[in-house]
């Protein structure tokens, strides 16, 4: 049935016009046109120290979560090794893998749905 639709002159002309609209072939060749320009970095000279500490803490936590997503993302092998569903290959056995395995056991039955609380940092800075 799909072949019959493609053979029809009217339908094939319509399909051709739709397909031709999706790619025009005029993508830039120069790398400076492909890369997204970053805004210039500006030092925050008048930022109070307590605000700076909180901002840096927030940014570092956010970056850490992004790095975790990049590192682990859809790598189900790591998940299976850490949870013990599959044996870890010798090449990946090490201190970090042991720490991940221990953390995944969650012996204290903590609820880990959010990032850890930062209350201890507020108390120590006072």
Quick: pLDDT tens for 93-114.
999 999 999 988 988 887 777 7
Query: What's the pLDDT score for residue 93?
Result: 94
For the whole model, what pTM was predicted?
0.41
CA distance 56 to 100: 26
Query: What is the residue-averaged pLDDT of the chain?
Result: 74
Higher pLDDT, 32 or 80: 80
For the ranges 5-19, 37-51, 102-116, which has the lowest average pLDDT? Answer: 5-19
> How many Cα atoms sit within 13 Å of 110 on the Cβ side?
12
Query: What's the pLDDT score for residue 87?
Result: 95
Q: Which has the closest alpha carbon to 91: 104, 72, 77? A: 77
What are the percentages of helix, strand and coil residues in the chain, rounded to 5?
A: 60, 0, 40
What SS3 class is residue 107?
coil
Angle at 93 between CA 86 and CA 115, to 5 degrees: 80
pLDDT at residue 76 is higher than 50: yes
54 pLDDT band, cuts 50/70/90, is confident
Q: How many CB atoms lie within 10 A of CB 104?
A: 13
Higher pLDDT, 37 or 104: 104
Length of the chain: 126
* Token duo for residue 47: 């930022």
């Amino acid at each position: 049935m799909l072949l019959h639709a493609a053979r029809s002159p009217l339908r094939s002309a319509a399909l051709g016009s739709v397909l031709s609209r999706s790619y025009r072939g005029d993508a830039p060749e120069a790398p400076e046109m492909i890369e997204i320009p970053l805004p210039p970095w500006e030092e925050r000279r008048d930022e109070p120290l307590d605000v700076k500490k909180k901002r840096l803490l927030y940014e570092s936590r956010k970056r850490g979560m992004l790095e975790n997503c990049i590192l682990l993302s859809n790598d189900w092998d790591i998940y299976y090794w850490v949870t013990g569903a599959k044996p870890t290959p010798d090449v990946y056995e090490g201190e970090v893998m042991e720490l991940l395995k221990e953390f995944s056991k969650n012996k204290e039955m903590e609820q880990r749905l959010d990032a850890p609380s930062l209350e201890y940092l507020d108390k120590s800075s006072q």
